[in-house]
Amino acid sequence: MKGTAAPGAWEGARAQQPRPRDRYKHACAVCRGFVYLYGGRSSTTLRDFWRYHTVKNEWEMLDCSRDGPEELEEHSMVAYKGSLYIFGGMMDSAFTQAKTPLWIYDIDSARWTESCNEPAETESSAPANRKGHSAVVYHSSMYIYGGYFGIKGISQEFWAFHFGKRKWLCVSSPCHSSGPGARHGHSAVVHHTAMYLFGGLMGLTEQRDLWRWDFGSSSWSSIRTSQGPPPVVGHASIVCKDSMLVFGGGISNSSPTDDLWKYHFHTQTWK
């Protein structure tokens, strides 16, 4: 056909465009129609920073060399009003255990700032470094749940970071027995006035439970359904219309799954 490039030439042009290497344990967030990706793990832990143009279907590598985070894995990233907030995921050391690892990237100025909350004043004034936690945005705060500290074990801490004040607040105490408990590798989403938390690893056991945190009453409730996904860790969840979509993940010593599940909030049913 006249005027049409050969398939090989097209593939060659596409291959020359920069794009992230294969990875896992990375973090992504959507802001202003772009997907941002930071770090993760390939053969080693990564610290590269990418932006994906959804309309052009193109990747762009961004600069993180100056004040950006170090190599991170199993961290979290959320977007709020033109800024990205990356929390946790630092490599294990005595130094990182005592540090609150939060970096803020302003998209307009393309500048990083590190939010330095040294928990030296009081041990519980800010969360310490962790991995495998969840992070969501509700109103003007980021909510962090769970994660693990390496040899120090698994967390059931629940923290809020207020974007305007740049202050941390402990939402519910660790002795809170009516909630999801200590876990990591779970997922969390926000729908209307509640956060929904699904699955993850408690001890050595993958979970398939679903929990609801009501921001109005500041209380947990367990949602019991007969159907639903099998126990899973390391999956991803998003909200689409009136449903939560849960994709992938797996269980220990087994291949990852490519199952896609839908939880409908109003009918409280899985499909």
Please say whether the beta carbons of 142 and 161 come within 8 A.
yes
| Mean residue pLDDT across the chain | 90
Average pLDDT over residues 149-177: 86
pLDDT at 9 over 50: no
pLDDT at 119 over 70: no
239 or 96, which is more confident: 239
* Amino acid sitting at position 90: M
Q: DSSP H helical segments within 35-171, as ranges?
A: 94-97
Sign of CA dihedral 252, 190, 22, 13: positive
pLDDT at 228 over 50: yes
Query: In terms of Cα–Cα distance, which of 53, 30, 22, 31 is closest to 238?
Result: 30
Please say whether the beta carbons of 66 and 124 come within 8 A.
no
Sequence-distant (≥ 6) Cβ neighbours of residue 74 within 8 angstroms? 25, 88, 89, 131, 132, 147, 184
133 or 98, which is more confident: 133
> Which residue, chain included where needed, has tokens 């060659």?
12
Please say whether the beta carbons of 88 and 74 come within 8 A.
yes
Q: How many CB atoms lie within 10 A of CB 8?
A: 8
Q: How many CB atoms lie within 10 A of CB 83?
A: 16
pLDDT at 204 over 60: yes
Model confidence at 16, in pLDDT bands (50, 70, 90)? Answer: confident
Would you give the DSSP letter of residue 72?
-
- CATH number for domain 120-270, candidates 3.50.50.60, 3.20.20.70, 2.120.10.80, 3.40.50.300: 2.120.10.80
What is the enclosing helix (H) or strand (E) of 14? Answer: helix 7-16
Model confidence at 190, in pLDDT bands (50, 70, 90)? Answer: very high
Residue 200's beta-bridge partner residues? 207
Query: In terms of Cα–Cα distance, which of 87, 83, 76, 85 is closest to 109?
Result: 83
Q: Is the pTM of this model over 0.85?
A: yes
pLDDT in tens, 38-88: 999 999 999 999 999 999 999 999 988 888 899 999 999 999 999 999 999
CA distances 27 to 75, 95, 236, Å, are 6, 23, 10
Residue 152's pLDDT is 81
Average pLDDT over residues 194-215: 97
Residue 144 CA neighbour count, 13 Å, CB half: 31
CA dist 36 and 77 (Å) reads 9
